[in-house]
Chain A
Amino acid sequence: RKEVEQDPGPFNVPEGATVAFNCTYSNSASQSFFWYRQDCRKEPKLLMSVYSSGNEDGRFTAQLNRASQYISLLIRDSKLSDSATYLCAVGRGSGYALNFGKGTSLLVTP
């Protein structure tokens, strides 16, 4: 089993829709969790960290479920500019590299 797994999609949604992605991880010792956004042929950029109590940044909400070992990203009121690939990343601790999922592709249509 891969350490970090994501549904590759694509998720095609109309503007204004709400869309949610999940990401499962296999290592129960994981300590840090992040969502990155990657545009076509560009570098991954940090979208948000994921905290145990859940956190929100504007239209984006991230949640962590340690018992079931998954993190989620909810995007409300989708914009055309949200079209991208969303990568989840899971870490074991400082110094170690993050483990990335292969990403979920989102296409927001007019």
Chain B
Amino acid sequence: NAGVTQTPKFQVLKTGQSMTLQCAQDMNHNSMYWYRQDPGMGLRLIYYSASEGTTDKGEVPNGYNVSRLNKREFSLRLESAAPSQTSVYFCASRERSIGNQPQHFGDGTRLSIL
């Protein structure tokens, strides 16, 4: 069971470079999320997609863009990377239903900006 798959696992960028973090889920979930986690800061929501075709800003969206490519895939793009974006990035998905469902996380992308 793959669940939520993130690529790459590790990446080092130079300031000003751009890159896209990929996320795909195979659980037929409707909602997908991008978080960053920094020491002492907890998980902070960057962007989310409640359903295919919609995206919304979270707590810390500046410097990022997202694309919900289809139901399975939700990518996060850094257009011009800054050292402050050094972090661990987690993608998550959640089944949208009448009941309340938990989020399931990918194993993260560790990103360093030099």
The answer to whether A43 touches B51 (Cβ under 8 A) is no
Q: A44-B90, A95-B50 are in contact. Are A89 and B102 (CB under 8 A)?
A: yes
Interface size (A, Cβ < 8 Å)?
Answer: 23
Q: How far is the CA of A31 from the CA of B58 in the complex (A)?
A: 19
B96 beta carbon closer than 8 Å to chain A = yes
The answer to whether A95 touches B103 (Cβ under 8 A) is no
- Which residues 60-114 of B sit at the A interface, judged by CB distance below 8 A? 88, 90, 94, 96-108, 110
**Partner pick for B51 among A42, A45, A46, A95, CB 8 A cutoff:** A95
Q: Which residues of B contact A34 (CB under 8 A)?
A: 102
**Partner pick for A43 among B31, B40, B101, B108, CB 8 A cutoff:** B108
B49 to chain A, nearest CB (A): 9
Q: A41-B88, A43-B106, A44-B90 are in contact. Are A95 and B96 (CB under 8 A)?
A: yes
The answer to whether B97 touches A103 (Cβ under 8 A) is no
The answer to whether A94 touches B97 (Cβ under 8 A) is yes
**Partner pick for A97 among B33, B100, B101, CB 8 A cutoff:** B33
A25 beta carbon closer than 8 Å to chain B = no
In the complex, 29 of the A-B residue pairs with CB atoms within 8 angstroms, ordered by the A residue number, are A32-B101, A32-B102, A34-B102, A41-B110, A42-B107, A42-B108, A43-B105, A43-B106, A45-B105, A46-B104, A49-B102, A87-B42, A87-B43, A91-B100, A93-B100, A94-B98, A94-B100, A94-B101, A95-B51, A95-B96, A97-B33, A97-B48, A97-B58, A97-B103, A98-B102, A98-B103, A100-B42, A100-B43, A103-B42
